[in-house]
Amino acid sequence: MKKSILASLMAILFIACHNGKTNDSSGKDEDLRAKAQLQGIWVDDDSEVPFMRIEGDTIYYSDSQNSPVRFEIIKDSIYMYGNEVSRYYIDKQAEHLFWFHSLSDNIVKLHKSEDPDDTLAFSGKAVEVIPSYTGVTEVDSVVNYNGARYRAYVYINPSKMKVIKTSYTEDGMSMDNVYYDNIMHICVYEGRKSLFASDITKQMFAGILSDEFLKKSILSDMLFMGVRKSGFLYQATVCIPESYVCNLVNIEVSFKGKMAMKAVK
């Protein structure tokens, strides 16, 4: 958990610094002429790889896992309204040239594409959603306690509930990726008698874990930890996708079928 706490603090500090550089300027007078000049496909100067396609007030990225974002140009900056609001200072803009500063102070240099084949980099498909599980996973545990035999089940069910995570490229560009959350089903049987059965979602941890963390995280795993005098212990893992930032929640089911939850400190 020490590694998790350290990663959490680093993420919080980065977001705090990021938010200090950005603000939502939506609604202010924007430069429509500059926006019109940006319409089309833009290619990275160094790699010659298509980077983004601008259509109307929306930026589409060549990576199908990155969500499109709405943008505005106001004075000397381009504002992108994704999961978070990002502001990038514009260094140069012309009909076939667009340079701007990333959040890490790198200069992103783009030029407008003149190759019709560059349209192939933008398939027009919906944003790819990244699942943590591709099918239902079942784990069956058999335990004996005080002369009785119990079966404790965990079913991990991928859902269609989407979670958007903002990540940052090496150049300091913010990108939004979309992930599917999971629903866990836990149940306990004594022989054929059902003592408890319930779906578990991350929303049930409201008040136990922070709302800000829950918004960006997925319910990534559920383990049966064993049985003790007070009941059956499960442990849920809630994580920011593709990171070490996780929190654990203990879920205890009593022999009378009552459920209680508590964050692991």
Average model confidence (pLDDT) across the chain? 84
Q: Which whole number is the average pLDDT over 193-202?
A: 95
Are 218 and 241 in contact by the 8 Å Cβ rule? The answer is: yes
Among 59-73, 107-121, 162-176, the range scoring the smallest mean pLDDT is: 162-176
Name the residue with higher pLDDT: 22 or 216.
216
- The mean pLDDT of 246-263, rounded to a whole number, is 95
> What is the rounded CA–CA span in Å between residue 88 and residue 91?
9
The number of beta carbons lying within 10 Å of the beta carbon of residue 262 is 11
pLDDT higher than threshold 80 for residue 128: no
Residues forming a β-bridge with 143 = 150
> What's the CA gap between 158 and 181, in Å, rounded?
7
Q: Work out the pLDDT band at 64, boundaries 50, 70, 90.
A: confident
Residue-wise burial string across 3-18, b where 16 or more C-beta atoms lie within 10 A, e elsewhere: ebeeebeebeeeeeeb
DSSP state of 24: -
**pLDDT score of 6 more than 50:** no
